[in-house]
């Protein structure tokens, strides 16, 4: 049985035990790895993620009531909400204009995980004006690791959005469904994330990445050619957990906003590498380093796309290395574990390596020739042991197709 078949079976089994019947269909959406372009999305910049061969499956069926019921293999029990109550539940109070700063989100009325699928139901109804959407049962199973920087959140959003889009006949396209997922995450869950994860999960293709302009949402498929070049992406999950909602992430976003204001532009996307000399004269040193990361990272994404198209994937290693150095030194979102993972991978034969995801923990990725994959895994494990860190979780991911109906 493939991993996909196992997750499909798990979602069906959970559906049967939770709701006493078979689903009408199963939809799935993948997690993602961001090859390059970190903290550029909310600066209207460029990113180059790919969907991975780890997916979240949602088995679903209309239930003939006005209620949404959700179950997940990650949590006990069924969470049940009337469709008409979604509008009073979301957005979370904390996200409402004029809400007290410490307002307890209404979403706290349901288990935190259930705010993802229920938030998608809420946002999809608004986007599609599908006010008559009928009640539905959902059972979710996933092999996307949670909190490892692989976006299990976009995977659950994409799977549920795809299922409801079909069952409700909402007719939204993949980009609109990505926006539904983002809205759910921002306003129902209350996590201030960009659009990258959802776009990668919706639009991914086998052995290809998505070159996304986060200002226009224009997305180009860029062939990676890993298979032909004998390359793999090794993920080294440090198992140090991150949370996007904490101070570090907000602080970086504020620094970027401040930098854009001081440069007199709508977003850091509008600042070029050539503008950095002027930037240094109009802002404090810390804000400047945050700005420099974003500006140079945007350039690296564009350079990576050009290099992939002209030379091929073996040539992008130095760009990955430069991206990591920029996040470690200028944006200051790396951790000792991530730095050790990156240098161990490189010493063991990776062509390039960098932390991926929001930072403050999570995973590093290493572009690795197939015959060096075992060396990289062993080197990471022994470097972690030597440094006194808990053992990392090391595995390869393959660039894969985006959200789809499976059955
Ligand atoms: P990640 O980097 O994995 O996206 P996030 O904190 O953004 O980390 O999202 C993880 C959260 O998403 C989990 O804590 C849980 O609330 C929810 N989630 C993800 N996948 C599932 C799932 N299969 N079942 C239930 N909840 C899930
Ligand atoms: Mg996430």
- 49 Cα–ligand 1 center, Å: 18
Task: Give the predicted TM-score (pTM) of the model.
Answer: 0.91
Rounded CA gap, 400 and 407, in Å? 18
Domain range annotation of the chain: 3-221
Q: Which of the listed residues 141, 142, 153 should we mutate to test ligand 1's pocket, taking the one with most ligand atoms within 8 A of CB? A: 153
DSSP 1-46: --HHHHHHHHHHHHHHHHHSS--SEEEEEEEEEEEE--S-GGGT-E
Residues involved in catalysis = 197
Where would I find the beta strands (DSSP E) of 131-259?
136-142, 208-213, 219-223, 231-237
Q: Confirm if 76 and 359 have CB atoms less than 8 A apart.
A: no
**Spatial separation of the C-alpha atoms in residues 355 and 172, rounded to whole Å:** 34
Q: 360 in ligand 1 pocket by Cβ < 6 Å?
A: no
DSSP lists the bridge partners of residue 27 as 58, 405
Tokens representing residue 93 in the block: 């109070």
pLDDT of 103 reads 42
Please tell me the distance from the alpha carbon of residue 44 to that of residue 37, in angstroms, as a whole number. 11
* Per-residue tokens: 332: 């200051």
Q: Which CATH architecture has domain 3-221?
A: 2-Layer Sandwich (3.30)
> For a pocket test of ligand 1, which of 31, 111, 146 has the largest count of ligand atoms closer than 8 A to its C-beta?
146
pLDDT value of residue 219? 96
Whether residue 74 has its Cβ less than 6 Å from ligand 1: yes
Mean pLDDT by 10 residues, the chain (407 residues): 94 98 98 96 96 98 96 95 89 53 50 94 88 87 88 97 96 96 93 89 98 96 98 94 69 96 98 98 98 98 98 98 98 95 98 92 95 98 98 96 96
- What spacing in Å lies between the alpha carbon of 144 and ligand 1's midpoint? 9
How far from 163 is each of 157, 323, 406, 407, CA to CA, in Å?
Answer: 10, 36, 10, 11
Q: Is 350 exposed, middle or buried (0-12, 13-18, 19+ CB in 10 A)?
A: buried
| pLDDT of amino acid 129 | 75
């Amino acid at each position: 049985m493939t991993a996909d078949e196992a997750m499909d079976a798990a979602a069906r089994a959970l559906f049967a035990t939770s709701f006493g019947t078979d689903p009408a269909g199963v939809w799935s959406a993948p997690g993602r790895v961001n090859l390059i372009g970190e903290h550029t999305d909310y600066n209207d910049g460029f990113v180059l993620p790919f969907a991975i061969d780890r997916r979240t499956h949602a088995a679903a069926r209309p239930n003939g009531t006005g209620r949404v019921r959700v179950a997940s293999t990650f949590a006990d029990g069924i969470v049940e909400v009337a469709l008409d109550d979604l509008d009073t539940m979301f957005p979370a109070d904390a996200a409402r204009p004029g809400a007290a700063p410490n307002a307890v989100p209404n979403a706290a009325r349901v288990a935190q995980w259930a705010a993802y699928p229920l938030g998608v139901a809420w946002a999809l109804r608004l986007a599609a004006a599908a006010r008559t959407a009928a009640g539905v049962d959902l059972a979710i199973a996933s092999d996307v690791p949670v909190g490892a920087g692989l976006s299990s959140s976009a995977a659950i959003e994409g799977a549920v959005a795809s299922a409801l889009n079909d069952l409700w006949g909402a007719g939204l396209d993949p980009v609109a469904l990505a926006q539904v997922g983002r809205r759910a995450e921002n306003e129902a869950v209350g996590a201030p994330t960009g659009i990258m994860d959802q776009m990668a999960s919706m639009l991914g293709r086998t052995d290809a990445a998505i070159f996304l302009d986060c200002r226009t949402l224009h997305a180009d498929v860029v062939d990676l050619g890993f298979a032909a070049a004998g390359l793999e992406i090794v993920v080294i999950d440090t198992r140090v957990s991150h949370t996007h909602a904490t101070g570090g992430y907000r602080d970086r976003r504020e620094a970027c906003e401040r930098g854009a204001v001081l440069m007199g532009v709508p977003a850091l996307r509008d600042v070029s590498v050539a503008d950095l000399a002027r930037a240094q004269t109009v802002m404090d040193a810390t804000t400047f380093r945050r700005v420099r990361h974003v500006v140079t990272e945007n350039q690296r994404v564009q350079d990576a796309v050009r290099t992939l198209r002209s030379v091929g994937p073996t040539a992008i290693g130095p760009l990955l290395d430069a991206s990591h150095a920029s996040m470690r030194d200028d944006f200051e979102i790396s951790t000792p574990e991530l730095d050790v993972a990156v240098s161990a991978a490189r010493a063991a034969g990776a062509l390039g390596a960098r932390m991926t995801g929001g930072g403050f923990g999570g995973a590093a990725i290493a572009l690795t020739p197939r015959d060096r994959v075992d060396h990289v895994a062993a080197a990471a494990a022994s470097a972690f042991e030597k440094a006194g860190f808990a053992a990392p979780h090391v595995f390869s991911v393959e660039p894969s197709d985006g959200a789809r109906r499976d059955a």
